[in-house]
Structure 1
Amino acid sequence: MWKNPGAAVAIDPSQVVPGLYVWLNVRWDEHPFISNRLMVKHAKDVAVIQSLDARGRLFYFPAKSTAEPGAYVPTTEELAAQQAAQEAALKAELLAEIKRLEDAKRDKRLRQRDAAARADRAWEDAARKTREALQTLHRSPKAAGALLQDLSRDTAASIAQGKEVLLHLLGDKKEQGPQFHALNVLTLCMLMGKKAGLTERELSDLAMAALAHDVGKVKIPFQLFKTSKRKKHEEDHVRQHVMFSVQLAIESGAFSKDALAAIADHHEAADGSGWPRATRTMGRAAAILALANRYDNLCTPDATDQEPLMPAEALARMFRLESARFDPALLSSLIKLLGVYPPGTVVQLTDGSLALVVAPGPDSLRPRVLVYSPDMPKDEAPTVELHTEADLKIAEAIRPSTLPLDVLEWINPQQRLSYFFSVEPPA
């Protein structure tokens, strides 16, 4: 007895297998079978059906079939379309990742430039005030002292309240004057003082001492500082600048007792080898000031017959040969602050490229460096934070005098290093 075959289900020709009862919904003269409806019995039947243009017009009847349809097999065109779609998706994903990385690199570069520009602007303002105060302190002590006091209080407030304080190597500063050394020492003192947990008031006193510790040099013949080969009476005269600095600070009426003590002891040493008192006992501010002063003097000595040390050499000397002179915790703090390769150091990286260290990093061996790129202006050259580059490290420090002239002119490491800080305001 004839039975209704039930509902037909659409299938793709690639799914035809023996045992399916199929319906070819095509004209009768478009296929070789006796009927449009047939039981697929042999592999030959399968091949014939799959050779027809029956896509979208092929069905099977589950109720009359003895097998289930096979797995769908995409056509070459479909596979190509799928592959093209996958490739397009991968390309879109890659382009999105490239854009993300480029945006992140640009944003980081903008943040770096913004922080460096803020440091440079702050230095220019501080340098103007410091130069004016130091040059007039012996003539107008009250006015100069008030100027230093305002600058110190503002500096201490920004350091104490700032979320993050960053050290920056500054570009070439053409003018000369006592403000260079004073501001370098101020910068190092402020960063070490913050690390040591000094209060805002203590930071302000330390800033005052850092700015004015050498102001008494105006009362010493200038030429005595330009040579290291001084007779005993000349050396004794040079050392009087400490007393003169204290006297001028007292006359200004702007310096606290702690600031005056720091100025008086900024050439003293923990092992008693310092001067003028050869004391082993110093306040914390004086110990910080003495350490910062020594480091900057090694890098940029007043005497023209003394070879300036590379920043890394200066730190190494202080650690290996002079550590008894300094508080161990403060010396360790300075090394961590500046890193093994301090700002101003010319280095060769493990990929063979040259770079100039422009700022410390969170890892003392991996600072931020400006990579030597002679095919572009220096202010457009890449700045790399080595702590984010797993495969790139510093191989060695390079003495600038060993570099070819064209390389030296591009890198332009300063004879007189200048550095200052930028402050991220509290969130």
Structure 2
Amino acid sequence: MPVAWKDHPFLFSSFRLKQQAQIELIKKLGIDSVYVDIDKSDVPPLETPAEAATAANDVTELEQLHQQMEHNKTEQIEVLRKMRRDLNKAEESFDRSLARMRSLINKLRSRPLNAVQEAQELVADITEELLASSNLVLHLMSDQKKDDGIYYHSLNVAVLSMLVAKELEWPRQDIEFIGLGALFHDVGKLKLPSQILRKQEALTAPEQNLLNQHPVLGKEFIKLANDFPEQAMEVILNHHEYLDGTGSPRGLKAEDISQIAQLAAAINQYDVLCHPTVANSVARTPYAALGYLYKYSKGKLNQEFIGKMIKLLGIYPPGSVVELTSGQFGIVMSVNLSKLLLPRILVYDPMVPKDQAPIIDLESEGLQITRCIQPNALPEKIYKYLNPRERISYYFGSETQ
């Protein structure tokens, strides 16, 4: 409908007509015309619309329907506000954790003991939130703050590893071990020449061999701090080892790789697929990255952990760009861990201001996802509206009631 969103009772300006009363309500809005796409209809036009409209023409009935729709829309707007409040709280927690991550990495060279102590405090705080929260929701974070990828990558791997460990019902101590190891898993790269890390073309064999040693360099780095937990150290040393012995730096096999390191390896591989550091590698969408791991990681990564990660993130992880059965495009903003098949979608509607874009619950709207698409396949105006993230970062929150 070519009318401002606030000037009609429907949730969207573009929607599927399901009853004659909707048509009668549109007629009473005082607009000259609407756009109708017959090709998207799954039923033929009514042969006698006048007869079908008879019951719906009752003024009292239409007024009641209009009032009910306005009430439902007001309730939905409040639900959206609550969703945005939940998202904002998660953003604030994410930003605080990211700042703490940046601080402890910067201190690692000069005050390694202090850095490790701060990391342990950060992990303990995250673990406390995880274990205390009910109705957990995994949110897509914004990527407005440009920064060195090591902070985002390390925090991503830590948070996702801890979430999966919680879902696996690991004891609190193991959740903290994997969180601590994940925060530091790539610190060995701080000892590598920057020209290797930033090289745009493919690495030479000697350069790749040196890069493969960053877990060993990381272990040497962390040894400067006393009493670093051995279980967390295994994450640093073995997060690139594969079950079949084809990993690096030592080519270990499954029996020599701890469960904690196996989980970190799976989560690390997922995030690397989304944000590749290898020259000429194409970043995969979260949906494609999970599909790739499911298909090609057998024998290399722990399949129980891959399955649990897929279940945790949902079929369409936060950050996935999707098309709905309504023909609308949207981006997955969050996954409620108690309703994995019903992610929350921010939907493109040209008649709704971008800052008021509806975030819908698929179940309540009776919609489904028809396909996941590459962001660059979107028309430019939809791409700018949805603003797909170049960097996919996650954080969790507890959905308010």
Question: 1:99 offset after TM fit, Å?
Answer: 6.0
Name structure 2 gaps, 5 residues minimum: 1-57
8 Å CA contact 2:322–2:369 kept in 1: the answer is yes
Query: Is the radius of gyration larger for structure 1 or structure 2?
Result: 1
Higher relative contact order (CA 8 A, sep 6+): 2
8 Å CA contact 1:216–1:246 kept in 2: the answer is yes
Alpha-carbon distance in structure 1 between the residues aligned to 2:312 and 2:372: 18
Question: 1:121 offset after TM fit, Å?
Answer: 0.2
Aligned position for 1:26? none
From 277, 284, 308, give the equivalent of 1:333. 308
From 371, 376, 390, give the equivalent of 1:396. 371
8 Å CA contact 1:205–1:255 kept in 2: the answer is no
8 Å CA contact 1:145–1:253 kept in 2: the answer is no
Alpha-carbon distance in structure 2 between the residues aligned to 1:113 and 1:275: 42
Alpha-carbon distance in structure 2 between the residues aligned to 1:254 and 1:175: 34
Alpha-carbon distance in structure 2 between the residues aligned to 1:131 and 1:104: 40
Aligned position for 2:214? 241
Distance 1:356 1:219, change over 3 A: same
SS at match of 1:325: coil
Residue type matched to 1:421 in 2? F
Q: Does 1:230 align with 2:206?
A: no
Alpha-carbon distance in structure 2 between the residues aligned to 1:255 and 1:353: 51
Alpha-carbon distance in structure 2 between the residues aligned to 1:376 and 1:95: 20
Aligned position for 2:343? 367
Residue type matched to 1:184 in 2? N
8 Å CA contact 1:365–1:394 kept in 2: the answer is no
8 Å CA contact 2:202–2:279 kept in 1: the answer is no
Alpha-carbon distance in structure 1 between the residues aligned to 2:123 and 2:241: 23
Residue type matched to 1:198 in 2? W
Question: 1:141 offset after TM fit, Å?
Answer: 0.5
Alpha-carbon distance in structure 2 between the residues aligned to 1:117 and 1:301: 28
SS at match of 2:264: helix
Aligned position for 1:198? 170
Aligned position for 2:362? 386
Residue type matched to 2:189 in 1? K
Alpha-carbon distance in structure 2 between the residues aligned to 1:321 and 1:108: 40
Q: Does 1:113 align with 2:84?
A: yes
Distance 1:127 1:254, change over 3 A: farther
Aligned position for 2:231? 258
TM-score, structure 1 as length reference? 0.74
Aligned position for 1:154? 125
The correspondence of residues 81-160 of structure 1 with structure 2, limited to 5 A, is: 94=65, 97-98=68-69, 101-102=72-73, 104-160=75-131
SS at match of 1:357: strand
Aligned position for 2:189? 217
Deviations 1:221-277 (A, max 9, x none): 123234462222111110111012122222223631111112211111222222112
Aligned position for 1:358? 333
Alpha-carbon distance in structure 2 between the residues aligned to 1:286 and 1:348: 37
Aligned position for 2:38? none
Aligned position for 1:322? 297
Alpha-carbon distance in structure 2 between the residues aligned to 1:192 and 1:146: 24
TM-score, structure 2 as length reference? 0.78
SS at match of 2:299: helix
Residue type matched to 1:265 in 2? N
Aligned position for 1:40? none
Residue type matched to 2:204 in 1? K
8 Å CA contact 2:347–2:359 kept in 1: the answer is yes
Aligned position for 1:181? 153
8 Å CA contact 1:137–1:252 kept in 2: the answer is no
Aligned position for 1:413? 388
Residue type matched to 2:244 in 1? D
Alpha-carbon distance in structure 1 between the residues aligned to 2:123 and 2:170: 14
- After superposition, the CA RMSD in angstroms is 2.4
Residue type matched to 1:411 in 2? L
Residue type matched to 1:404 in 2? P
Question: 1:117 offset after TM fit, Å?
Answer: 0.8
Distance 1:270 1:344, change over 3 A: same
Q: Does 1:376 align with 2:352?
A: yes
